[in-house]
Structure 1
Amino acid sequence: MDEVQPLRISSEPAQLQALEPMLEAVSELVGDVPALLEVAKDIAQTVPHPGEGSTAKLWEVLASVTAVDVAAGRVLEPHLDAVHILSQAGHPEPEGAWGVFAAEGPGLRLEATRDDAGNYLLNGSKPWCSLASQLDGAVVTAHLPGDQGRAAFAVNLKDHGVTCETPQWSSRGLREIPSGTVHFHHVPATILQGPGWYHQRPGFAWGGIGVAACWLGGAVALARDFGGSLSKAADNGRDPDQVALAHLGEIDRLISSSTALLARIAEQIDGHQPGTGPSDWSMAQRARGTVAAAVERIQTLVTQDLGPGPLAFNETYGKRMADLALYVRQHHAMRDDAQLGALVFKGEREW
């Protein structure tokens, strides 16, 4: 099995071949986060932005990198998302490596206030800030005074008022990408548009689908592991039994349907006119839920068939399984389905 085989969503084979040198570079840098951040910066120079006519190509890049290594995809995706957010807000492409910190947590709150000159300052704490100590900047959401809600800000993470906690990361998954709490003390920040813009813009939903493309890439890598194992056994005279073939067939269906859905949604996003067709959020929940379910099912099928051996002795396979299991938990399962169900109930459906 070729570890740097690109993942196709809608591109022609010749277009996908152009990704191979980049994927080779990623393959050689697995585990080296600073080097992967440099690759992410290079990729951001050429990769298309979502909603600009080549959304499927963007997702192919994300999925293909994650198929090489799930953590590498987890490094790439937030940098591209940050670059896209700044572009959507009318800001120039940032220098250095960036992230997006928009999570909220119990007992933690990040607030934006204004000084006498009218400049914004951030004070408080933000949870789940992946790679914060290794990044140059981030798009960060913070609460505005009064009842104005939240807004997104561009922040220099090298400011002396920024303190990055080193989390006690006990998980086997995504060990090179711990997500800790970042504390802000009078940190200057540039507001991006206005209150509510970050969550209301179409790109918020599109970015969520980009994460789903990463999940799909990880699942495809596991499927390739499985297919390669079956082929190796067959070469040694042990053909797959009907159960293994049934699992391989189901995996193929899951990947094919998930890929087709992403291709169709990419088309809808690129041709979308405001006020027509399904909403961006219903498309995002549909894509994320479908891919997350496929990922979990593929993990179950592959691990059942391959058994404990590769989990115990194959570092690449074991890392991939653990990384993907943690990454896909960004999907909130039935709670996200409930959000989609509410939209469907209001008429957000195509059936």
Structure 2
Amino acid sequence: MSDSETFLGALGRAETNTADEHRKRVAAWLCEEIDEGHLDLPLPGHGNTWQRWAILRDLARRDLSLVRLAEGHADAVAILAELKASPPEPGSVWGVWTAHPPGPDLHAQSEGSGWRLNGVKQFCSGARVCTHALVSALVSEAERQLFAVRAEAAVAAPDTWAAAGMAASDTLTLIFDDVAAEPVGRVGDYIARPGFHHGGIGVAACWYGGALAVSQPLATQAASGNADVQTRARYGAIDRELYSAETVLRRAAEEVDADPEDYEAGAKMRAMRVRAVVASACAGVLRHTGEALGAGPLAFDPHYAHAVEDLAVYLRQHRGDRDLAGLGTAAAAHEGGTDVES
């Protein structure tokens, strides 16, 4: 083996070890946050919704992979409470695995007094740190139901996350082979509850916290005495984006607390609007910081580089024009006084 091949092999192992160390560090942080009670957050719509989202925002500013797992745990607690299920046991770590993209799916079958899950579930964040999870599965060709499972009963498919961004969230594809499951609510209850939309705004609060982390190096430059007008203008544009994001999040929190049971008429459109505004603001922050700072911080500032990579991936939970089309349909129907499905 040549010297160059030896060097490249060692470099690859170092990068793998660094990524694995970050994943383990995030898992340890998550468990510490849970054990110390820092994720005992106010439930959405119970009068302190902004406090809930502000805590998620601050965790996101620290590390987006951490907040992805923390938000999943907190969301699971809220779902269990809303659907009148037993709360998590002390010390347990929960995820919410409810994505259903094209491809293989997860199926639930009733056997006697219990249920069993078989199939594949993609996008399972915290696959190796969660002790339990809420999982959606098909109970018929078109109907899904939510189930509680022990995470250790599923098998992680290796190498099912290719992106550098959000790698420490340990998001993997899991294989379920005759796994025991406990129903949580009835068919369709997971989506039909107001908290489904409140939780979607909570994710936007995480995006916003990530944007705050991304903006920090440029804020430091703009605050210096020798900052040029271009730097100050770029940061002015970023401040505009961040202000708009926090403003809509705060207003949404007030509206949720004022009418927590509102589902179709308010909660759904509110969530679409807030997610659209915050996603656009975060995309603007990524663009302005990238153009103003250049490659230097990406190469030499690990926190900034991780934040940029993670936010770019996390934002893909907003589906761009597809989600805007849904918002446009709902908003036009609302404005026109008609009832149009989005």
Give the TM-score of the pair, scaled to structure 2: 0.86
Is the 8 Å Cα contact of residues 40 and 80 (structure 1) preserved in structure 2?
no
How big is the alpha-carbon RMSD for the aligned residues of Structure 1 and Structure 2?
2.1
Q: How does 1:197-346 map to 2 (within 5 A)?
A: 197-232=189-224, 234=225, 239-272=226-259, 274=261, 278-346=265-333
- With 248-257 and 325-334 compared, the bigger mean Cα shift is at 248-257
Q: Does 1:171 align with 2:163?
A: yes
Is the 8 Å Cα contact of residues 126 and 182 (structure 1) preserved in structure 2?
yes
Distance 1:316 1:76, change over 3 A: same
Alignment correspondent of 1:131: 126
SS at match of 1:49: coil
1:46 to 40, 44, 50: 40
Structure 1 moving runs of 4+ over 6 Å: none
Amino acid at match of 2:50: A
Q: Matches of 2:270 and 2:41 in 1, distance apart?
A: 22
Q: Matches of 1:273 and 1:105 in 2, distance apart?
A: 29
Alignment correspondent of 1:90: 84
Alignment correspondent of 1:64: 58
Is the 8 Å Cα contact of residues 51 and 270 (structure 1) preserved in structure 2?
yes
Which structure shows the bigger proportion of residues in helix conformation?
2
Amino acid at match of 1:70: L
Is the 8 Å Cα contact of residues 104 and 126 (structure 1) preserved in structure 2?
yes
Cα deviations by residue, 1:85-131 (Å, 9 ceiling, x for unpaired)? 1111112321311101111133311111111x231111111111112
Cα deviations by residue, 1:263-306 (Å, 9 ceiling, x for unpaired)? 11111111116569942111111111100110011111111111
Amino acid at match of 1:211: V
Deviation at 1:252, TM superposition (A): 1.2
Amino acid at match of 2:99: A
1:35 to 28, 34, 42: 28
**Structure 1, gaps ≥5 residues long:** 1-28
Q: Matches of 1:204 and 1:226 in 2, distance apart?
A: 35
Deviation at 1:67, TM superposition (A): 0.8
Deviation at 1:51, TM superposition (A): 1.0
Q: Matches of 2:41 and 2:204 in 1, distance apart?
A: 17
Give the TM-score of the pair, scaled to structure 1: 0.84
Deviation at 1:31, TM superposition (A): 5.9
Q: How does 1:104-119 map to 2 (within 5 A)?
A: 104-115=100-111, 117-119=112-114
- With 274-283 and 62-71 compared, the bigger mean Cα shift is at 274-283
SS at match of 1:176: helix
Is the 8 Å Cα contact of residues 30 and 69 (structure 1) preserved in structure 2?
no
Distance 1:128 1:337, change over 3 A: same
The count of residues paired between Structure 1 and Structure 2 equals: 313
Alignment correspondent of 2:73: 79
Amino acid at match of 1:98: W
Distance 1:314 1:276, change over 3 A: closer
Is the 8 Å Cα contact of residues 165 and 312 (structure 2) preserved in structure 1?
yes
Q: How does 1:132-171 map to 2 (within 5 A)?
A: 132-145=127-140, 147=142, 149-159=143-153, 162-171=154-163
Alignment correspondent of 1:12: none
Q: Does 1:121 align with 2:121?
A: no
Deviation at 1:332, TM superposition (A): 0.4
Amino acid at match of 2:327: L
Q: Matches of 2:173 and 2:313 in 1, distance apart?
A: 18
Q: Matches of 2:159 and 2:191 in 1, distance apart?
A: 27
Q: Does 1:100 align with 2:96?
A: yes
Cα deviations by residue, 1:34-76 (Å, 9 ceiling, x for unpaired)? 3122134244653101111110000000001111122221221
Q: Matches of 1:151 and 1:335 in 2, distance apart?
A: 25
SS at match of 1:154: strand
SS at match of 2:334: coil
